[in-house]
Structure 1
Amino acid sequence: MNKNVVLNEEAVLNQWNLWRSWVVAIIDMVPEEHYDVIPEPYRNNIRWNAGHLLVGFDDVVASTLGTERQLSDKYHIMFPRESSPTDWTEEPPSMIEIKEKLKQQPEELGEAVKGKLDTPLKQEFMGMKTLGEMLQFLTAHDALHLSTMNSIRRLLESK
């Protein structure tokens, strides 16, 4: 690995904005009655995938920069890794709210991370050591869940 490579902050944030806009576009294509359906072979639904994306960025930025999380505890309880809507004991946030947060988060957290991409993570994650490296990973994470949401959407449309 070339230690002299510097992350281009603008490119990292632009990529996140691009993928996030595609996430919102997929959600816009889903009929409301499909938000909470968990089709076989999936273990989560479209609402969970969308909320989960919010939690990942919120956790990483807050823990790395030592700031308050921007999302309520409800999000961090309902949408963490390895969770499932089948475990929910309360009403989830509305898709209108989730979608709005998906649109706002890149701008809000993007401002918070400007000039700080080289900030070390509190704990190394899968070989990633800085906030910038983690933001690149989380952008790929958005792409992964975008694909999952699109697959669920297409499966439900075919029924």
Structure 2
Amino acid sequence: MSELLLKQFEVARGNFIKSIEKIPNEALDVQLEGLNNTIHWHIGHVLTVAEMMLFGFPKRSTYLPENYVQLFGNGTKPADWPEEVPSVETLIGQIKEQSSRIQEIPVDSFTEKLPKPFLGSETFGELAFFAISHELHHLGQIHTSKLLILNK
């Protein structure tokens, strides 16, 4: 079962990367009416939340700058961003690097109980499954945004 989780991450993340690399630059920072976030934000959010869930960011992981929580964490939006934010190219590079680290997670760790239940998950494997679902949800948001932006 644990190997299946890693395979699922590989497939989901591969589809995520393939999809975002095909989006034209002019669509990345368009804010659609009625939505709080842009495609650029969704990309950073997926990266940041996966790092939080799987690697304990920002307390136990130093692979991402700490300000990513303020830029891409839950409840954030591009309207509140400071002048400087990481480029989509930077985020894609970090997502690819994170993918490699995900594949190195020991399969035995997926059966470990969490110190306390989180988001309905009691084991690290359940939390990892939630992270996959979260990523695919945002991929759907990205896909819909891209279609709406490019077909105006």
2:145 to 117, 129, 152: 152
Q: TM-score, normalised by structure 1?
A: 0.87
Instruction: Check the 8 A contact 1:59/1:69 in 2, yes or no.
Output: no
Give the secondary structure class of the aligned counterpart of 2:108.
coil
Deviations along 1:43-96, one digit per CA (max 9) or x if unpaired, are 1001110110111121122339x7324211122220001110111113111111
Identity of counterpart residues, as a percentage?
27
Structure 1: 4+ residue segments shifted above 3 A: none
Q: 1:90 to 1:113 in 2, by over 3 A?
A: farther
Q: TM-score, normalised by structure 2?
A: 0.90
> How far 1:119 sits from its partner (Å)?
2.2
Q: Which runs of 5+ in 1 are unaligned?
A: 1-7
Two-structure CA RMSD over aligned residues (Å): 1.8
2:55 to 38, 56, 62: 62
2:34 to 32, 41, 48: 41
Distance in 1, Cα, partners of 2:72 & 2:4: 28
Distance in 1, Cα, partners of 2:85 & 2:116: 30
Equivalent residues, number? 151
Instruction: Check the 8 A contact 2:10/2:103 in 1, yes or no.
Output: no
Distance in 1, Cα, partners of 2:84 & 2:52: 22
The residue aligned with 1:92 is 85
Q: 1:139 to 1:71 in 2, by over 3 A?
A: same
